[in-house]
């Protein structure tokens, strides 16, 4: 059986691109065919650590006959051009989050892959955390009854060094700051676990921790289609003394129980009154390699010819972006923003 050939197009998201190359190098029946970035230095660690050849042009990288799929990991503003190039060559795509900096670009990305008949995955690795899968199973089994409240966070550690790459600090290249960078993981996890859609967003965002021209703190208040309410903290506010660089958590409350998931304690707590239990604390490690699981599912989907659960699709990426951009509009206008049903009219850019 021929290995699945996967190319890495863009490596401005340097740590992500390196982590994906590492994960791919450990997968059976998968081969990293090459890497390209307009700034060769972005790819130097991938070349050095994993022996991945650098290809001088994006066209040559994607057009190579041994390439089946492409991981797009450049600056967010470049995602559309890179995905459209891959789709034009019939290559399946895994795109780094956020999908784009605007809804119009994200919609064009989805349309290009649909027209080419190729799969479009979005790198929401939180779906592959073992505890998220268990939380989803508990919620979908009705253990909590009807959901009435959802709280989540995905906080990072400041201060970012002055030389931090522009894909995260340049508002043009990144589309924003903490809100767009971190909220998309949480809102996607909320949708994935609950099956609910966000219909209204209110938000505040600003720069309180360091001055880089983008938001480093934010909070979103959400309304869901069933009337449930929620909130998200995507701030870059993890203190230096914290043992983890990131703080990801979900807390869901229903009419018959509650669920608390946190990476700080590496635990999932489900308390349910349905059928008398069970209730209590379940421990599992967040150290399990979610990147590897995500990439294995991507390669498996390519080989199978269909997107496998729990992979995030282009529509999932588009929905998360719509929520984030609605948050920016709300913060600017100091008013709640209505989000249209995802099956009808798309949201607006900010």
* Structure confidence at residue 265 as a pLDDT band (50, 70, 90): low
**Distance of alpha carbon 126 from alpha carbon 343, whole angstroms:** 24
Q: 170's torsion region: left (phi>0), alpha (psi -120 to 50) or beta? A: beta
- Please indicate, yes or no, whether residues 279 and 174 belong to a single structural domain of this protein: yes
Higher pLDDT, 293 or 288: 293
Residue range 133-155: mean pLDDT, rounded = 96
Under the banding of pLDDT at 50, 70 and 90, the label for residue 156 is confident
**166-203 pLDDT tens trace:** 778 888 999 999 999 999 999 999 999 999 999 999 99
CATH code (residue 181)? 3.30.360.10
Amino acid 246: pLDDT = 78
Give the Å distances, CA to CA, from 236 to 14, 83, 151, 232. Answer: 18, 28, 17, 13
93 and 158 co-located in one domain: no
Check whether residue 101 and residue 239 sit in a common domain: no
β-pair partners for 69: 6, 92
- Residue 330 above 60 pLDDT? yes
Which spans in the chain are helix H?
14-25, 44-50, 58-63, 79-88, 103-116, 130-140, 166-169, 171-174, 178-194, 290-304, 314-333
Say yes or no: 171 and 256 in one domain.
yes
How confident is the model over 92-107, as a mean pLDDT? 98
pLDDT digits (tens, 9 = 90+) for 203-217: 999 999 877 788 999
> 345 in a domain, yes or no?
no
Q: Are residues 258 and 139 in the same domain?
A: yes
Query: Is residue 259 domain-shared with residue 148, that is, in the same domain?
Result: yes
142 and 277 co-located in one domain: yes
Which H/E stretch holds residue 232? Answer: strand 229-233
In a domain, 50, yes or no: yes
How far is residue 61's CA from residue 298's CA, in Å, rounded to a whole number?
Answer: 19
Q: Is 56 inside any structural domain?
A: yes
The domain in which residue 300 lies consists of 4-125+291-312
CATH classification at residue 47: 3.40.50.720
Number of domains in the chain: 2
Interstrand relation of 4-9 and 92-95 (parallel, antiparallel or unpaired):
unpaired
Mean residue pLDDT across the chain:
90
Q: Model pTM?
A: 0.92
**pLDDT score recorded for residue 168:** 80
Residue 343 lies in a domain: no
- The shares of helix, strand and coil residues in the chain, as percent rounded to the nearest 5, are 40, 25, 35
């Amino acid at each position: 059986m021929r290995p699945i050939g996967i190319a890495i197009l863009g490596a401005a998201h340097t740590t992500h691109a390196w982590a994906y190359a590492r994960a791919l190098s450990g997968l059976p029946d998968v081969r990293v065919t090459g890497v390209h970035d307009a700034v060769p230095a972005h790819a130097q660690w991938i070349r050095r650590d994993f022996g991945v050849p650098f290809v001088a042009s994006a066209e040559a990288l994607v057009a190579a006959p041994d390439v089946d799929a492409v991981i797009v990991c450049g600056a967010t503003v470049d995602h559309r051009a890179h995905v459209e190039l891959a789709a034009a060559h019939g290559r399946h795509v895994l795109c780094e989050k956020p999908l784009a900096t605007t809804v119009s670009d994200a919609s064009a990305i989805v349309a290009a892959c649909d027209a080419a008949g190729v799969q479009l995955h979005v790198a929401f690795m939180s779906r592959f955390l073992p505890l998220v899968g268990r939380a989803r199973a508990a919620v979908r089994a009705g253990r909590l009854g009807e959901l009435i409240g959802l709280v989540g966070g995905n906080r990072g550690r400041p201060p970012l060094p002055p030389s931090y790459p522009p894909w995260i600090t340049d508002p043009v290249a990144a589309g924003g700051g903490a809100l767009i960078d971190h909220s998309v993981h949480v809102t996607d996890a909320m949708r994935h676990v609950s099956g609910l859609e966000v219909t209204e967003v209110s938000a505040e965002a600003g720069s309180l921790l360091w001055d880089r021209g983008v938001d480093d703190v934010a909070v979103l208040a959400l309304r869901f289609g069933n009337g449930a309410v929620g909130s998200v903290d995507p701030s870059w506010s993890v203190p230096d003394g914290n043992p983890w660089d990131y703080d990801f958590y979900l807390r869901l409350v229903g009419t018959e129980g509650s669920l608390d998931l946190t990476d700080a304690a590496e635990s999932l707590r489900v308390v349910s009154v349905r059928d008398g239990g069970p209730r209590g604390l379940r421990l599992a490690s967040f150290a399990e390699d979610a990147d590897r699981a995500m990439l294995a599912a991507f390669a498996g989907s390519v080989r199978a010819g269909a997107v496998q659960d729990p992979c995030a699709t282009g529509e999932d990426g588009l929905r998360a972006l719509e929520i984030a951009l609605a948050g920016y509009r709300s913060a600017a206008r100091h008013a709640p923003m209505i989000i249209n049903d995802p099956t009808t009219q798309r949201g607006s850019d900010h």
